[in-house]
Amino acid sequence: MSNGVTKKRVAIFGSTGSIGRQALEVIDANPGLFSVEVLTGQSNEDLLIRQALHFKPEVVVIGDEKKYPKVKDALSAHPIKVFGGEKAIEEVAAMDIYDIMLAAIVGFAGLRPTLQAIDNGKAVALANKETLVVAGDIVMQKALEKRAPIIPVDSEHSAIFQCLVGETRSRIEKIVLTASGGPFLGKKPNFLVNVKRDHALQHPNWNMGAKITIDSATLMNKGLEMIEAKWLFNLQPDQVQVIIHPQSIIHSMIQFEDGSIKAQMGLPDMKLPIQYALAFPRRIANAFPRYDFRKPGTLSFEEPDVKTFRNLTLATEALFKGGNLPCILNAANEIAVFAFLRNRIGFLDMTDLVERTMQQVPFIEHPTLDEYYESDGEARDFAASLIKL
């Protein structure tokens, strides 16, 4: 207890990734407000063990079953239940031992555990945009039925969410998602054709995991965020706009039907939206650096270069067409980024691979959840077939 406030029990799915690690920093700084009940990681068993020894959760899951014995042995002297395997991650999500899930598993793999949490009526702090990109209609309908709050963690969606507080009766004309432009802002294809992995991983403003950093460099991240925003805020595709804002100070904006615009601003630090989501509806004090308007600086905006960064065009096509096309887009992109990070394909090849997969895999206008899973698998298989061994 802290000042009469009951501790919020947190389950971090994806605790060894960038978002998970930063969330644990937030929790560590606020021990009177939060307790950690679940930690899951995929393959970084050493970090998962260190986290478990520090936070003493009720349950720990390592996704890679080969590493289960090591984790089990390391935690055997403590009253911590240890499980291994992908199925265990899903089963733990269904347990009634936490109040809020931080859904920070990267990619399509985060969908099943998130659905389990929602089915259990749990609040979800959503850092996994792919969950809504792949099956936004099903996820949001289930959240409505189960009265499970979904609080976005992505800085852009957190910004829109914050701007909407107190605006329940106000009609949105459009939302504006800001993008830094990544490390290759202003570059043309003759430059990008030679880009290598290490260069693409150097984001100018944000500290993120490898997958999201590459998606940011190709602008696919912003395309996925457009699709996520449609479902989160119940928007029509033409109500979602992207603008390049290199300084990453304005995290996104809403324009209402009267022409008024609300923006959420702050220094680029993911701990801010993480803290907001975990503590919602409260705001809690912190010692994070502050933006200082007195220091000379410029906030600038420009249209994205969709001819060079065609991923944004492909994502916009998926946004407007709907059905299983965003699922296909996401699956192909995950394969493309995986291959690029292993130097198997070039930077521009990623977009070509996604485009060809979107053209190949059959379109389904109103997919069931099973059909989403089938489309994902088919898209991955086709995309992988395009990569030269």
Question: What is the residue whose two structure tokens read 């001819």?
Answer: 307
**Quick one: average pLDDT of 308-323?**
97
pLDDT for res 217:
93
* 89 neighbors 63 (Cβ within 8 angstroms): yes
Smallest Cα–Cα separation from 316: which of 199, 215, 220, 198? 220
Band of pLDDT at residue 388, cut at 50, 70 and 90: confident
CA distance 198 to 195: 9
Crossing angle, helix 130-146 and helix 220-232, to 10 degrees?
Answer: 10
CA–CA separation, 83 and 70 (whole Å): 11
- Under DSSP, the state recorded for 161 is H
Share above pLDDT 90 across residues of the chain, in percent, rounded to a whole number: 89
Q: CA-to-CA distance for 41 and 49, rounded, in angstroms? A: 10
pLDDT at 209: 78
Please give the model's pTM, rounded to 2 decimal places.
Answer: 0.93
Summarize pLDDT for 254-289 with one digit per residue, the tens.
999 999 999 999 999 999 999 999 999 999 999 999
Q: Is 265 exposed, middle or buried (0-12, 13-18, 19+ CB in 10 A)?
A: middle
141 falls in which pLDDT band (50, 70, 90)? Answer: very high
Predicted confidence (pLDDT) at residue 92 exceeds the cutoff of 60: yes
Question: Cα(346)–Cα(336) distance, rounded to whole angstroms?
Answer: 9
Cα(291)–Cα(74) distance, rounded to whole angstroms? 43
Which tokens belong to 2? 């802290």
Q: Is 106 in contact with 14 (CB distance < 8 Å)?
A: yes
Residue 378 CB partners (closer than 8 Å, separation 6+): 361, 362
Pairing state between β 172-179 and 81-84? unpaired
Element (DSSP H or E) covering residue 124: strand 123-126
- Give the whole-angstrom CA distance, residue 110 versus residue 328: 16
User: Tell me: the pLDDT tens digits for 187-226?
Assistant: 999 999 999 888 888 877 766 778 888 999 999 999 999 9
Parallel, antiparallel, or unpaired for β 250-256 and 172-179?
antiparallel
Residue 378 to residues 20, 135, 136, 161, 348: CA-CA distances in angstroms?
A: 30, 16, 19, 34, 22
Query: Which domains, from first to last, does the chain contain?
Result: 8-152 (3.40.50.720), 157-268+294-321 (no CATH)
